[in-house]
Amino acid sequence: MIRAFVDRIETTENGERLAVLLIRLSEGDYLQWLCPLQWLPPDTREGDWLRLEFAPDADAKAETRSEIEALLQELQEEP
């Protein structure tokens, strides 16, 4: 499990709200991730801790594979 600390919330020049997340890589070494606030739970505030989970997306993988196979088929049919 990966945990991220919500360091602060900023608003860009175009009005988009971003959460600045800090993810500890090792002692004293942190990754800073600018994450759209809309991707996070609605009540996310500065100082919160979040659990991050990455999971495979089998549907997206199958769809991409199908699109690539169709494109390859189309390319092979051209003279």
What are the tens digits of pLDDT across the range 16-31?
Answer: 999 999 999 999 999 9
Strand partners, 9: 19
Question: Per-residue pLDDT tens for 28-78?
Answer: 999 999 999 999 999 999 999 999 999 999 999 999 999 999 999 989 987
Total domain count for the chain? 1
Can you give the pTM of this predicted structure? 0.74
Range of the domain at 49: 2-77
